[in-house]
């Protein structure tokens, strides 16, 4: 099995495949499987893709793995490819893993027995441009400092409007960005940190939230390095004890971009990739071989890491659809599409948002072809009053068949950012505005998202403004908080969350007080102080209610101190080590 790790179920499937193939190479021509009516096999990278990776595996979807032994794969330069089938965990397909890479610039032909698909391998590739140097700025006055956790420096949250009655239950999930200490941040409605998760220097967190994986709520986020609106990294899944249990990478030799890490009900991950290639842009005022960014959408089978679906903007969306001017410098890349979200509906089709075409696309999950365009230069829908949008983010299918979009807009189109809900009539080809929610004339030039909450409220994170508001069903803001100047957060969310960290509480003692904290613990109601003349001779002194991330317990008893974290019913949740007073 090439050293790959698989579950027992997948191993059994692969064993069945091996028995059927009887040692023959996957590239060999074989008969039509069984006497059943032929079933259409979907192939990815999709037909017509001009920029596939030389490391591409061929995803074959729509049939059990033992029905795929007749597939042949041929490169126009490298000839017939032999390889093996790696089953997908849902039993509805497999990936052809070639024994060797494809050649740059060649055309690959995949024959499934009932259809032939051709795509082209990218002729050239450049990696993400290096980050420009940025001066380190002191944010000392805008960050919190703690006696018990001096290593943590979360931003101070300003409360413009305290939470009113009717806010949804749960905590706020943010990914504050600046060049000193970055990472995921959970805060309560008062802006008090609950969990601070700083990343290593040079790494950033995006799309930090709670998602369900294998039936359990998990913390998920993207983590990696970024530059000029691009990213290269991986998705991360952590449990309620804040232990990382899975890291999810993009497939086919790519690195995942920062804009999306979404887990589907089928336990797959929707991820994005920005890939740099070269095109002749002289028609649009650019250079003959200028860099162009190809936006790629992938769906990843989390248990196996295999690509189930792969779509490229190049080959499907023309360069002329962009609302971005081609950079005058031929040394500057043209990010003509700029994918920033992807969603999937119950029929298996995808909703893709492209900021730099000001359009949203519905993509066939079976063929990878564009079903329709909403907005932009080639919209298939006539947009009704108030339904137009510009440079949008966070396009989502909703359960009632509508589509929700975060319309960033700009001063030339509409003088404020808003969350909108559109209803599409696919027969009449019209799009009508159902609802819009804004916040005065607040304008988020970049980033931002909206999140419907279970009680009917709507949470909006205002991207470049570093601000989060919760709105009731009437659109009235009932919570309004803001990060300090110099910070922003790509997206923000609200979720119920129970955290039980594995580590011990932290304690620090001074001559007149003791400070207690437990990063990530959500169930602490009170802190009990223990003090004594030595570390092994401590006795309870007093108990105080928890007061924010770090609780100050007054008193100067004992040379050594420790604390116990207690739940509301008095259960001891954890105890610190004994520390000598400072």
pLDDT at res. 184: 95
Range scoring the smallest mean pLDDT among 18-22, 139-143, 446-450: 18-22
Q: CA quadruple 379, 40, 18, 78: dihedral positive or negative?
A: negative
Q: What does the pLDDT read at residue 3? A: 35
Categorize the per-residue pLDDT at 230 as very low, low, confident or very high, splitting at 50, 70 and 90.
Answer: confident
Q: What is the mean pLDDT of residues 195-200?
A: 94
Domain end, chosen from 448, 471, 495, is at 495
Q: Is residue 367 part of a domain?
A: yes
Q: Name the helix (H) or strand (E) containing 17.
A: helix 8-21
**Long-range contact list for 270-273, CB < 8 A, 24+ apart?**
270/297, 270/298, 270/299, 270/300, 270/342, 270/343, 270/344, 270/350, 271/235, 271/297, 271/298, 271/299, 271/300, 272/296, 272/297, 272/298, 272/339, 272/340, 272/342, 273/297, 273/298
* Residue 164 lies inside a defined structural domain of this protein: yes
The pLDDT of 429-448, averaged and rounded, is: 94
The yes-or-no verdict on residue 8 having pLDDT over 70 is no
In a domain, 526, yes or no: yes
Q: Distances from the Cα of 391 to the Cαs of 175, 293, 371, 439, 441, in angstroms? A: 21, 17, 21, 18, 17
Q: Would you say residue 60 has pLDDT above 90?
A: yes
CATH number of the domain that residue 57 is part of: 2.60.40.3710
Out of 495, 530, 558, pick the residue that ends a domain.
495
Q: What is the pLDDT of residue 486?
A: 86
- Weakest-pLDDT range from 238-242, 339-343, 414-418: 414-418
Are residue 251 and residue 324 in the same domain, yes or no? yes
Statement: residue 28 has pLDDT above 90:
no
How many distinct structural domains can be found in the chain? 3
Mean pLDDT estimate for the chain: 90
Would you say residue 364 lies in a domain?
yes
Q: What is the pLDDT of residue 67?
A: 87
Residue 178: the pLDDT is 80
Burial pattern 324-358, b for ≥16 Cβ within 10 A else e, equals eebbeeeeebbbbbbbbbbbbeeeeebbbbbbbbb
One domain for residues 514 and 429: no
Nearest to 467 by CA among 479, 446, 478, 483: 483
Phi, psi of 142 (to 5 degrees): -105, 5
For residues 346 and 263, membership in a common domain is answered with yes
- Same domain for 50 and 100, yes or no, is yes
Residue 36 lies in a domain: yes
Among 120, 153, 176, residue at a domain's last position? 120
Which range among 14-28, 59-73, 229-243, 517-531 shows the weakest confidence by mean pLDDT?
14-28
| pLDDT-based confidence at residue 27 (cuts at 50, 70, 90) | very low
Same domain, 230 and 369: yes
Place of tokens 């900021």: 355
Give me the pLDDT at residue 40, please: 81
What is the pLDDT, as a whole number, of residue 282? Answer: 94
- Note the pLDDT tens digit of each residue in 96-130: 999 999 999 999 999 998 889 999 999 876 666 66
Task: Report how far residue 201's alpha carbon sits from residue 183's, in angstroms, rounded to the nearest whole number.
Answer: 10
294 shares a domain with 196 = yes
| For residue 132, pLDDT beyond 80 | no
In terms of domains, do 57 and 186 share one? no
Task: Report the C-alpha gap between 418 and 437 in whole angstroms.
Answer: 6
Q: Is 102 found in the same domain as 230?
A: no
User: Per the domain annotation, does 190 fall within a domain?
Assistant: yes
With a pLDDT cut of 70, the percent of the chain lying above it is 90
> Which helix (DSSP H) or strand (DSSP E) does residue 9 occupy?
helix 8-21
110 and 14 fall within a common domain: yes
**Residue burial 47-72, b: 16+ Cβ < 10 Å; e: rest:** bbbbbbbbebbbbbbebbbbbbbbbb
DSSP 457-480: -EEEE-GGG-EEEEE-TTS-EEEE
Q: Domain with 548 in it: what CATH number?
A: 2.60.40
In a domain, 71, yes or no: yes
Q: What is the mean pLDDT of residues 515-533?
A: 98
Q: State the Cα–Cα distance between residues 7 and 365, nearest whole angstrom.
A: 26
Is 485 found in the same domain as 511? no
Mean pLDDT of 517-528: 98
Q: Which two tokens stand for residue 289?
A: 């071989």
When pLDDT is averaged across residues 258-273 and rounded to a whole number, the result is: 97
Weakest mean pLDDT among 134-138, 140-144, 222-226: 134-138
DSSP 8-class letter at 141: G
Q: Which residues form the domain of 537?
A: 506-580
**pLDDT in the model for residue 452:** 98
What is the pLDDT, as a whole number, of residue 33? 31
Contact 229, 206 (CB under 8 A): no
Looking at the structure, tell me whether residues 185 and 251 fall in a common domain. yes
Q: What is the CATH number of the domain that holds 468?
A: 2.120.10.30
Clarify whether residues 63 and 113 are in a common domain. yes
Residue 19 has pLDDT above 70, yes or no: no
């Amino acid at each position: 099995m090439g050293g790959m790790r698989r579950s027992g179920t997948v191993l059994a499937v692969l064993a069945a495949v091996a028995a059927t193939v009887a040692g023959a190479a996957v590239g060999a021509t074989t008969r039509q499987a069984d006497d059943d009516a032929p079933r259409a096999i979907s192939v990815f990278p999709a037909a017509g893709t001009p920029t596939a990776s030389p490391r591409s595996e061929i995803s074959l979807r729509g049939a059990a793995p033992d029905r795929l032994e007749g597939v042949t794969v041929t490169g126009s330069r490298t000839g017939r490819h032999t390889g093996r089938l790696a089953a997908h965990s849902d039993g509805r397909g497999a990936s052809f893993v070639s024994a060797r890479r494809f050649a740059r610039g060649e055309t690959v032909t995949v024959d499934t027995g009932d259809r032939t698909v051709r795509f082209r391998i990218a002729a050239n590739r450049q990696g993400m441009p290096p980050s420009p140097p940025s001066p380190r700025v002191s944010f000392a006055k805008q960050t919190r400092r703690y006696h018990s956790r001096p290593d943590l420096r979360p931003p101070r949250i300003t409360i413009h409007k305290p939470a009113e009655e009717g806010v949804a239950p749960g905590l706020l999930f943010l990914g504050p960005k600046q060049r000193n200490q970055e990472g995921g941040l959970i805060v309560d409605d008062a802006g008090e940190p609950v969990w601070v998760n700083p990343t290593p220097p040079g790494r950033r967190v995006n799309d930090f939230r709670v998602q369900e994986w294998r039936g359990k709520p998990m913390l998920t986020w993207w983590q990696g390095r970024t530059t000029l609106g691009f990213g290269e990294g991986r998705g991360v899944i952590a449990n309620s004890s804040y232990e990382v249990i899975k890291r999810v990478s993009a497939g086919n030799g790519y690195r995942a971009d920062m804009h999306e890490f979404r887990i589907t009900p089928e336990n797959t991950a929707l991820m994005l990739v920005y890939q740099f290639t070269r095109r002749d842009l002289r028609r649009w005022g650019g250079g003959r071989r200028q860099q162009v960014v190809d936006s790629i959408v992938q769906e990843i089978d989390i248990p196996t890491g295999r690509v189930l679906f792969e779509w490229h903007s190049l080959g499907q969306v023309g360069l002329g659809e962009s609302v971005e001017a081609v950079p005058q410098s031929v040394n500057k890349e043209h990010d003509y599409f700029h994918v920033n979200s992807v969603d999937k509906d119950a029929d298996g089709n995808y909703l893709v948002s492209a900021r730099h075409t000001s359009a949203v696309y519905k993509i066939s999950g079976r063929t990878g072809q564009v079903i329709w365009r909403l907005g932009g230069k080639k919209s298939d829908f006539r947009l009704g009053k108030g339904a137009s949008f510009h440079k949008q983010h966070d396009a989502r299918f909703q359960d009632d068949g509508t589509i929700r979009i975060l319309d960033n807009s700009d001063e030339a189109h509409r003088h404020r950012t808003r969350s909108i809900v559109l209803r599409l009539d696919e027969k009449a080809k019209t799009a009508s505005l159902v609802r819009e929610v804004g916040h005065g004339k607040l304008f988020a030039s970049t980033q931002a998202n909206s999140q419907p909450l279970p009680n009917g409220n709507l949470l909006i994170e205002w991207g470049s403004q570093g601000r989060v508001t919760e709105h009731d069903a009437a659109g009235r803001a009932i919570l309004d908080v803001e990060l300090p100047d110099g910070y922003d957060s790509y997206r923000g969310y609200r979720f119920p969350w129970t955290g039980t960290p594995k580590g011990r509480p932290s304690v620090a003692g001074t001559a007149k007080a003791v400070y207690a904290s437990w990063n990530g613990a959500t169930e602490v109601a009170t802190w009990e102080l223990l003090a004594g003349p030595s570390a092994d001779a401590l006795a309870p002194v007093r108990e105080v209610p928890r007061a924010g991330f770090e609780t100050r317990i007054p008193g100067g008893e004992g040379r050594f101190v420790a604390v116990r974290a207690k739940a509301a019913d008095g259960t001891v949740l954890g105890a610190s080590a004994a520390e000598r007073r400072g």
